Structure formats: C-alpha cells, structure tokens
Amino acid sequence: MLTLFTIFNKGGIVLWERCFDPLFCNIINNFIHDIFVEEQSSKTIYVKDNLVVKWTLSNEYDLIFAIVYSEFAQIIYIDEFLESTKKFFCELYYEKLQEKCFLEKNFSFDSHFDVRIKEFEFLNVCLQQKYYILVINELGKKFFLNENTSSQDFELDKDILDDDIPKTLKSDLESQLPETPQFSETNVSFLKKDRNKRNSNKKLKKNITKVNNLNNDEPIKKNKKLMRKWEDDSILCNSDKADFLDYSVHSEKSSAPVQNDIVRLTQENCMSKDLQNGFTIREFGDDLQKSDKKGESSKEIHTGMFSIFTNLAKKRILSLNDLTPALTKMNELLLKKNIAKEVADSLCESVQNSLVGKNISTFQSIQSIVKTTMESSLKQILTPSMSIDLLKEINFSKSQKRPYTISFVGVNGVGKSTSLSKIAFWLLKNHFKIVIAACDTFRSGAIEQLQVHVKNLQQLSEKEKCGKIELFEKGYGKDASLVAGNAILYAKKKEFDIVLIDTSGRRHNDPRLMSPLEKLVNANNIDRVFQVAEALAGTDVVAQAKNFNNALGYKKKLDGFIISKVDTVGNAVGTIVSIIWATGIPILFIGNGQTYTDIRILSVSWVVKMLMS
C-alpha cells in the first residue's frame, strides 16, 4: 500500500525512515528538489511517475514528515495518519528534538510505527466494507468519526462487534487489531444497526454517500459565455467604424487602414532601448512602484525602531485557533481578487502549516504575520524557476538559418490575434522579419482580422524603418497543421526569421476540439507554445491551463502564458496566481490596453501588492 515514510529536517538529515519498496524510494530526491529547492512548498502534494508524495511540516522543530504511495491506491486516511504520526513522534521524542542535535541522536521508531501502520490498514479495510469506525489511540485522539455522531455513541461492546461484522470478515478484521500492551487503550466500535431494515438501509446509504464524497471536490460551475464582439479582439474597430465589420462586400474600405489612425496604434516610451539586446518590454506597474518608494522607505524606518521593542517582548506559540479568524479573512480576500477557490484554500493551508507552532512576539499582531507569510508564499509561486530569453533564442535560430516558430493557443475570445500582433510589433522593433500564419481556418473573419493587423504593422514598420512582416494564409476549411507547415517552409525559403502561428479558439473541455493541437505542434516541431488567457476568466482558468497543457501530448508542453485584458480587472489579478499554481509554467507577457505597445512583462512585486491591497 505504502512505498516510503520518512522524517527529515530542513537541513537534509534523515531522523527515521521506513522503505517498503526500494525501487521507488528515489522519488524523495526529486520531491526535495522540485518542492523545496525550487521554492514551491505552498503545495502539499507532489505527483511524479505514478507516485504521490504527501507531507506535513513541524514548524517548531523544522521537521518534514513525508509519505509516498501509489497514485492508483485508494487510501482514505492518509492525511489523518500523517498528522497523527507527526504529533506522536514529536511528543515521544520531545527532549531529543529540543536539543536539535539530530546526528548524535537515535530515534528508535520502528515498533511504534508498526503498530500505527496496523491501525491505518485496519481503517482502510473497514471503510472498503462500508463501516463507520472510531479509533482512539494511546494519546486519546480520534482517528475517524462520523460527523453525525458523538463520542458518547461509541462504547466498547463485544456484542456489537459480533453482530455487526460479517462472519467471513470477522477473523480478518480482528487479526489486524494491534495487540501491543502500550496500545491497550485502543478502542474500536461500530455503529449500531437499526432493527428496522428500511431505516437501516436508508441510513447506511446516506452514510456511505458521505464517505464517498469525503475526497470529492465540488463541481466547477461553468460561467455562461457571452457573445463576443469584434472590439474585444481587435484594436482597430470601434463603434464609430461599425462598417468595418461587414466583410460580405469586398471593398477597399474594409481592408485598408486609415492612414491617420496609424499614429494612435502605438504609444511612446512603452519599450525601453537596450544597446545589447535591442528593444525590451517594461514591467507592468513600473510607474506605480516608483511613486511608492518614499512610502516604503518610511515604513522601513518604523520597522527598525519597532524591532528594538519586539526583541524585548515575551514570546508565545501560535495555535490553530489563533490563526483561524485571520486565515478566514485572508481566504475571503483572495477569492475577491479572482483567485480560484482551490488555489486560495491551498495558499491558506500553506500559511497555516508554516505558522502553527511558531514562536512570535506578543507585540506582533496575528493579522500582520499572516499577511507577511502570505506575501512570501505568493512571491514563491510567482517567481519563475526558469527564464525564457526569446530574443536570444530567435538570434540563435537565425544563425542556424531556420525560422523560429511560436504558436498561440487558447479558448474563444481571449485575444489571441491581438496578443500575437502586439508581440509581432515588439519583434519588428528589434528588426526581425516575420511571417504570421493564419491557422484559424474555422472562425469566420479570422483571416480578415489578421489582414487588418498585418497592414497596420506593415505601415508602422515602414514608418519606423524596422523589420518586415507578411501574412501567410490558405483560406478557410484547410488543415491547420498543413497550413502551419507550409508557412514554415515559405518562411525558410524567403529567409524570414520568425513564424507566429495563430490558431482557432476552442473549448478546453472538448477532446474532439483539443486533439488537433497535438498534431499541429508536434508535426511541425514548434519551438514555443504560448497560451493566451484573459484576466477575467476567474476560477475556470485553472481547468483551461491544465487541459491545454495536457492536450499537447507527452512530447511537448506549454512554454508560457500571456494574460490579456489585465486593464479591465483593477486589482483583481488572481488569475495570474491561479495559472502558475496549477501548472508551474511562467507568465511571459501581460496585455493591458488596445494599442500595439500595450504589452508588459510580469512584475511579481506589483501582483503581490495588488492582491494584498
């Protein structure tokens, strides 16, 4: 059932471990690297190679308790077993742990663990037979309790044991009960059956339903998608130019941009000049951060003066009851900032695990400690473990005499074409030659929309004397993978540097629509795949990110995200956190307006400030 149980400290010293299957025990090294070295400890579960690692922290002694088991094993009491073992170990070796000289101490935990594992296996066997049980260990702690009953309902009664357990299972269950003397207070009782069979059956079905739903998440409610207007995906059209929407009549007016409007499609000082790397994109929130520097410096002075008194104050240990009110308010704040519920719950649980048992000064408020810890957790999530230098990669591909390929994917109406055009303008500013491949061969007007963008960008490149851009399209109804392949061949033949591939919007929960993505990406060996997601998506963005990442197949995964329409949500920028939490994939760009220069790179400090405001 289990693969490994280990106890080690944050310095890497193993206090005790039990390995059930040596072939798979190496996963703990990957776990330490991916979670603690990469600073992703906000998550409490780690899955790799069909194995699951769950862990809990003892902040008082800086210990990590980790358990490894198969992803396919149906284990119900794993969290209770982990927490119970942690508490028992810490109380049993209290004096040794206080000294913190782990290399010189011997922790003989084998016999105690054997008894606890018998209890654990007994509970799972009973649950598979649909019985409710209560186990009270030597510490007097409840292992499992039906939420509709109290401890008075569970009295040790041999008759109940004989009556309620089928004879075929009685010997097996009794053989698994611990017989060690120090566990003599372990009591196991089963719920009494009602003599009325009808009431008994109804009650049993009701209780079984509750057990089966213990680990089931609530179904995500899908927001009804509103009809999308052209303005949401094009920066040219507005209410005054509604005649541009009619493509049924082929006229020069419908495809030719107005010369006077070219100036308003860009803004000055939105890109900074780097003599070595060309034009770079500014961080989102740069102006706000500069204006706040004075306020931050004054805060640091107060903090320094206050720390003198803090060191003199008495210490107290934080308990779960102390943290619950502050964590509840923090959870509500995160939900208001558009963070998905499962992400908000995970963040609060991470803060709780890191603070329970900590010594704090009596001068410190719990609210401020929770806020500071939450800010630290958010920074760990948002800080990417790897960086992508697109300009460097493009120049390397150029030296190899092959075009660099980027594909843009996402659901309908998030602004893929607009985001593609913004990145195209940035690349034009760096004097690259670009081909835009019109691989959205399904949506009516998609190719015409790209024609408008390309004509605008061509005029901007001629005006600023930078780069070159063309549109490659083969009409509607064609195979998107073949169109992309032909575009790449055309770019290589004409010595273009980059191919930007626009794809159709698709429902992320429809396998029939998602399956062509794998063919498009893998058949054409695309260098980078970016998903465009809008800041308004809310809780659905987690499912979107996971489904698009899985749809690309095992050979290729998403390389980054582009978050569009950030200027429409104010400080409710929780979508950014939800996406990174769900996938661990970085956010490369943020769209914040309707011009070609309204694109920024992610500022971690700005996002944290918006979420905590």
Q: Is residue 553 part of a domain?
A: yes
Q: How many domains does the chain have?
A: 4
Q: Are 449 and 417 in contact (CB under 8 A)?
A: yes
453 and 564 share one domain = yes
Are 496 and 581 part of one and the same domain?
yes
How many CB atoms are closer than 10 A to CB 245? Answer: 15
Q: Other C-beta atoms within 10 Å of 26: how many?
A: 11
The predicted pLDDT at position 14 comes to 86
The contacts of residue 582 (CB under 8 Å, 6+ apart) are: 340, 343, 541, 542, 545, 546
292, part of any domain: no
Helix (H, G, I), strand (E, B) or coil at 207: helix
Q: What is the CATH number of the domain that holds 42?
A: 3.30.450.60
CA angle 42, 606, 225 (to 5 degrees): 80
| End position of a domain, from candidates 81, 108, 135 | 108
Beta bridge pairs of residue 438: 502
Helices (H), 100-191: 110-128, 158-164, 167-175
Instruction: Check if the beta carbon of residue 446 is closer than 8 Å to that of residue 502.
Output: yes
What are the φ and ψ backbone dihedral angles of 447, each rounded to 5 degrees?
A: -70, -40
Same-domain pairing of 70 and 170: no
Tokens describing residue 256: 């030719």
Instruction: Identify whether the C-beta of residue 27 lies closer than 8 Å to the C-beta of residue 6.
Output: no
Asked, for residue 592, whether it belongs to a domain, the answer is: yes
In a domain, 301, yes or no: no
Q: Which pTM value belongs to this model?
A: 0.59
Report pLDDT for 52: 87
Residue 29 falls inside a structural domain: yes
Domain-located, residue 156: yes
- Residue 452 has what pLDDT? 92
Note whether 485 and 538 are same-domain residues.
yes
What would you report as the CA-atom Rg of the chain, rounded to the nearest whole angstrom?
30
Element (H, E) at 9: strand 2-9
Residues in the chain predicted with pLDDT less than 50, given as ranges, are 130-198, 200, 202-206, 208-216, 226-260, 275, 287-288, 290-291, 293-314
Do 173 and 80 lie in a common domain?
no
Same domain, 414 and 273: yes
Domain's final residue, options 183, 216, 249:
216
Q: Among 487, 555, 494, 489, which residue's Cα sits nearest to residue 519?
A: 555
Q: Does residue 303 sit within a domain?
A: no
Together in a domain, 531 and 472: yes
Range of the domain at 118: 111-216
The partner residues of 189 in beta bridges, in order of sequence, read 134
In a domain, 468, yes or no: yes
Could you tell me if 361 and 503 lie in one domain?
Answer: no
Residue 201 contacts by C-beta under 8 Å, 6 or more apart in sequence? none
* Domain edge (last residue) among 91, 108, 125: 108
pLDDT, residue 427, reads 92
Do 530 and 396 lie in one domain? The reply is: yes
74 and 182 assigned to the same domain = no
Indicate if 22 and 90 belong to the same structural domain.
Answer: yes
| Cβ contact 338:569 at 8 Å | yes
